[in-house]
């Protein structure tokens, strides 16, 4: 593991873990059980704040600390109604890492997080936003391509790597979106990534406590089945969600049409309509994750579902990824060595 250790040393030191692989924050999935399990396996767990009731949010943090003494993060959705309460609770409880998601945090909010002693991470979708976040004081950046599951941006990881990873050298950068193999991780580390984030691979571990039908849907799906939800018109400014196509997606299109008509007739405000959309996704995801409703629930998943074919213990999954990464680095070394020898 000599080569791999050297490549992801920056990520290890920043996160304070042995394996700088982050388990992405997934609503209804990344609770105290999954987060603590990931941490205790040497990787890095991220708790999904979502729009959790503040008292439950505080309890989840306490439960994580009861189950692990390893560092972890809370993922705060800046556009969630309970966001300000979440930020206050996270800082009061001295959470070691705070990740801002959903939108870009204000400089004052970053300062509040840092003053609590937390390391702060934020997402960046281009070089100018990355520089803005760095100027505001974030300690690390996250690049998440549109290949990822859940709420997504418009840009693929391959473009973000060129726009941001290749351009920004000041702070650690972690990358996400469509990553599921150690071979790809090896190349991302060689490009300069400090570490990576995955969601799908953690969902289909034995330790992830989602409904068996939810995992089965992931195993059966092909990459092309994980699609971004369509926006009906532009009136609601819908943020795309990537999920496995099912009957629920058709329902979502109908919901948008209904809300647009109500907004036009003055029966609902645009803000309330957007809130109804988010409520739909929260409820639909819960039905899939907890109840196993794979027909009408939301099967939020990245296109990396096309790269997975089995449920396995988390330790086995991490060992497999590390082994693949090391083997790929060996192949790269041999290829470069052959080329250098030939040139000489």
| Residue 252 pLDDT | 84
Reported as a pLDDT band with limits 50, 70 and 90, residue 340 is very low
| Residue 183 pLDDT | 96
What would the two tokens of residue 302 be?
């990245």
Contact 176, 190 (CB under 8 A): no
| Residue 343 pLDDT | 45
User: Mind listing the pLDDT tens digit for each residue in 115-126?
Assistant: 999 999 999 988
User: Mind listing the pLDDT tens digit for each residue in 25-78?
Assistant: 998 999 999 999 999 999 999 999 988 999 999 999 999 999 999 999 999 999
User: Mind listing the pLDDT tens digit for each residue in 132-142?
Assistant: 999 999 999 99
| Residue 2 pLDDT | 64
| Residue 342 pLDDT | 46
CA of residue 319 relative to chain centroid, distance = 21
Mean pLDDT of 159-186: 95
CATH numbers and ranges of domains, the chain = 2-209 (3.20.20.70), 213-303 (no CATH)
204: closest CA among 295, 297, 289, 287? 289
Cα 145 from Cα 223, distance rounded (Å): 15
| Residue 125 pLDDT | 84
Q: Which of 140-149, 300-309, 330-339 has the lowest mean pLDDT?
A: 330-339
Cα 230 from Cα 48, distance rounded (Å): 25
Q: How many CB atoms lie within 10 A of CB 296?
A: 14
| Residue 188 pLDDT | 98
User: Mind listing the pLDDT tens digit for each residue in 227-280?
Assistant: 998 777 777 777 788 999 999 888 888 888 888 889 889 889 888 887 888 778
Reported as a pLDDT band with limits 50, 70 and 90, residue 338 is low
Angle between helices 107-115 and 83-92 (to 10 degrees): 30
Burial per residue of 269-293, b for 16 or more beta-carbon CB atoms within 10 angstroms, e otherwise: eeeebbebbbebbeebbebbbeebb
| Residue 339 pLDDT | 56
Mean pLDDT of 10-28: 96
Mean pLDDT of 171-190: 97
| Residue 137 pLDDT | 95
The label of the residue with tokens 């599921």 reads 180
Average pLDDT, the chain: 92
Sign, CA dihedral 119-124-130-135, equals negative
Given its phi and psi angles, is residue 150 left (phi above 0), alpha (psi -120 to 50 degrees) or beta? left
Q: Count of alpha carbons within 13 Å of 196, Cβ hemisphere only?
A: 31
Query: Which positions ≥6 away from 113 have C-beta within 8 Å?
Result: 87, 90, 91, 98, 100, 120
196: closest CA among 29, 4, 1? 4
Mean pLDDT of 210-239: 88
Three-state DSSP at 312 gives: strand
pTM: 0.92
Mean pLDDT of 209-220: 96
196: closest CA among 154, 147, 261? 147
């Amino acid at each position: 593991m000599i080569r791999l250790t050297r490549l992801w040393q920056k990520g290890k030191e920043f996160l304070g873990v042995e394996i700088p692989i982050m388990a992405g924050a997934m609503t209804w999935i990344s609770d105290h059980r999954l987060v603590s399990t990931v941490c205790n396996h040497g990787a890095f767990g991220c708790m999904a704040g979502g729009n959790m009731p503040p008292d439950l949010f505080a309890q989840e943090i306490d439960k994580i600390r009861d189950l692990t003494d390893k560092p972890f993060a809370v993922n705060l959705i800046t556009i969630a109604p309970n966001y300000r309460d979440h930020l206050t609770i996270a800082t009061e409880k001295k959470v070691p890492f705070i990740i801002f998601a959903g939108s870009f945090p204000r400089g004052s909010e970053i300062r509040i997080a840092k003053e609590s002693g937390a390391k702060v991470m934020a997402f960046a979708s281009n070089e100018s936003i990355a520089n803005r976040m760095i100027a505001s004081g974030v300690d690390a950046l996250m690049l998440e391509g549109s290949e990822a599951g859940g709420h997504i941006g418009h840009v693929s990881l391959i473009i973000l790597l060129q726009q941001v990873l290749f351009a920004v050298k000041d702070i650690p950068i972690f990358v996400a979106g469509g990553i599921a193999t150690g071979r790809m991780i090896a190349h991302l580390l060689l490009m300069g990534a400090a570490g990576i984030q995955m969601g799908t691979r953690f969902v289909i571990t034995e330790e992830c406590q989602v409904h068996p039908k939810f995992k089965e849907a992931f195993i059966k799906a092909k990459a092309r089945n994980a699609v971004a939800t369509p926006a009906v018109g532009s009136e609601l400014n819908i943020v795309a969600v990537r999920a496995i196509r099912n009957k629920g997606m058709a329902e979502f299109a109908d919901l948008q049409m209904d809300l647009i008509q109500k907004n036009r007739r003055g029966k609902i405000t645009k803000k309330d309509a957007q809130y109804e959309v988010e409520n739909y996704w929260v409820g639909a995801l819960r039905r899939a994750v907890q109840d196993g409703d794979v027909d009408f629930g939301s099967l939020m998943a990245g296109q990396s579902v096309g790269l997975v074919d089995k449920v396995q213990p988390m330790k086995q999954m991490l060992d497999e990824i590390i082994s693949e990464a090391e083997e790929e680095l060996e192949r790269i070394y041999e290829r470069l060595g052959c080329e250098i020898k030939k040139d000489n």
